[in-house]
Amino acid sequence: VRVHNFCAGPCTLPLEVLEEVRDELVDFRGSGMSLIEMSHRSPEYEAVHEEALSLFRSVFVVPADRTILFLQGGATLQFALVPINLLGEGQRAAYVRSGTWGKGALKDAAAWGDAYAAWDGEPVGFTRMPQAHELEIRTDTRYLHVTSNETIEGIRMASFPDPGVPLVGDLSSEYVSRPIPWERFDVVYGGAQKNLGPAGLAVVVVRTDLLERVRTDLPSYLRYDAHAAKDSLMNTPPMFAIYVMGKVLRWIEGLGGVEAMAERAERRSGAVYDAIETSEGFYRSPVDAADRSHMNVVFRTPSDDLDAAFVKEAEGGGLVNLKGHRSVGGIRASIYNAMTDEGVDALVGFMGTFRDANG
Ligand SMILES: Cc1ncc(COP(=O)(O)O)c(C=O)c1O
């Protein structure tokens, strides 16, 4: 029996995709072997690789002048590779310190070069994103790094800033779930394991003309240009993750693409926020209304004990992984692309029942 899995990542995947993978796992399209037993130089795998690249481009509406890279090391490796590849002599990097992940990205950049917080959300408890006028960009700033959605705190940039320097975006928890203004971004990256597939794959989108200007005095895996030159086949890629992501992208395409995912996310997170707002104070969201995440809905009941009871009872009803991140507590429902409407309806229904019993 499948449960409704609200895990923040890795997370639920479309059942149709899982079933297709199961059917192909032992004998991939009549080859007599599994895709994951093949050479990454085989024509079968190369076709899967090319298809995933081209679907990522078409479904996420990535412009032709951007290069898409499939890398390992998660979004975390990109915390390092972005400054390593982009920061030149005398340049510095600005970061929106918007939550756990923005904080992590800044910390890693600062370990490599000159990086600073253009805005710090810690004094407000990471409950909102900055307004444009609050960003302080210093001279010689190469880029402003933003985390479009803070997965742990449940806050989202409703619109992206236009600060006069290029943006770099960590889209990990909103990948291919909202359209983005590509012209403002030099680099966009994210792990695939929330909206797009299994763990083990990070997708990085770089402005192609930058590849001629990135640092080249680096070990090869750290160089964006080296990966680009080999179509992300410089070394053995995470073949299984790329293969499954291709299927998820095909599934998203069938549902109407990134715009449809964005509408779906707004509608479904909206249903949970409505349940919070109409609960007469039983449930509360710590996040400013304008910046509430469409992916990770964070909320609390009147007490820690009731939060724990909520999570436990929900689990009994097949609604799993609703516990908030260990660093913040509370309840968190992650409603990524592959979450079903039934799952969201069941959660909203359970919220009502639990409130009636405990309110
Ligand atoms: C916004 C954000 N950035 C970065 C990460 C780290 O990603 P990874 O585990 O792929 O390194 C996560 C993981 O949850 C995330 O949500």
Question: Of these residues, 170, 225, 291, 307, which one is catalytic?
Answer: 170
How remote is the CA of residue 355 from the centroid of ligand 1, in Å? 32
- pLDDT tens-digit readout, 146-203: 999 999 999 999 999 999 999 999 999 999 999 999 999 999 999 999 999 999 999 9
Mean per-residue pLDDT pooled into runs of 10, the chain (359 residues): 96 97 96 96 97 98 98 98 96 98 98 98 97 97 98 97 97 98 98 97 98 91 97 98 98 98 98 98 96 98 97 97 93 97 98 97
pLDDT score, position 159? 96
| Separation CA 4–CA 67 (nearest Å) | 35
Determine which residue's CA is closest to atom 4 belonging to ligand 1.
75
CA atoms within 13 A on the CB side of 131: 4
Does the active-site annotation cover 194? yes
Catalytic residue (choose from 101, 225, 307, 323): 101
- What pLDDT, on the 0 to 100 scale, is given for residue 225? 97
Pocket of ligand 1 (CB under 6 A): 9, 74-76, 101, 147, 151, 170, 172-173, 191
- pLDDT at 216 (0 to 100): 85
The pLDDT value recorded for residue 191 is 98
Q: What is the pLDDT at residue 102?
A: 98
Q: What phi and psi, each to the nearest 5 degrees, are found at residue 51? A: -65, -40
Ligand 1 centroid to Cα of residue 359, in Å, is: 35
DSSP 3-state of 12: coil
Residues in the chain: 359
* Torsion from C-alpha of 201, 205, 208, 210, nearest 10 degrees: -100
**Residue from 243, 224, 263, 189 nearest 87 by CA:** 224
Question: Is 112 one of the catalytic residues?
Answer: no
CA distances for 358 relative to 118, 283, 305, angstroms? 43, 11, 11
What's residue 327's pLDDT?
A: 87
- Does the active-site annotation cover 170? yes
Cβ pair 157, 291 in contact under 8 A: yes
First and final CA of the chain: distance in angstroms? 31
Strand partners, 332: 298
Q: Give residue 215's pLDDT.
A: 83
